[in-house]
Amino acid sequence: MGGLTIGLRPTDGAVEVSFRDTGQGIAEDQLKRIGSPFFTTKETGTGLGLLASKRILENHQGFMEITSQPGEGTTVTITIPLRLSTIDQRVCSASATNIN
């Protein structure tokens, strides 16, 4: 059974969240196809979960990177920008003002 390490670190204007496992890793031919619609290695999978996750990140100007070595494990790094839009800033300010 493998282990899982979760990391969090600030970068220039963003935050990175990484998930690293020590499992079996992903073969290069499969790694190239990850995130493609309907690609799955699971018997009951749809191949849409990772695609949906990537699209949500992209809608928030973020991105996901997956690296893997067969026999050594896989790392998924998600980068999310920290900047808030003008609307988000107003909502946060209003929420902070209303907290008693």
Instruction: Find the helix or strand (DSSP H, E) in which 78 lies.
Output: strand 73-81
Whole-structure pTM value: 0.74
Q: Measure the CA–CA gap between 16 and 97, rounded to whole angstroms.
A: 29
Q: For CA atoms 85, 86, 91, 93, give the dihedral sign.
A: positive
- Answer for the pair 64, 4: CB distance below 8 angstroms, yes or no: no
For residues 29-38, average pLDDT? 87
Q: Which two tokens stand for residue 47?
A: 């191949």
pLDDT, tens only, 46-93: 888 888 999 999 998 999 999 999 999 999 999 999 875 555 555 555
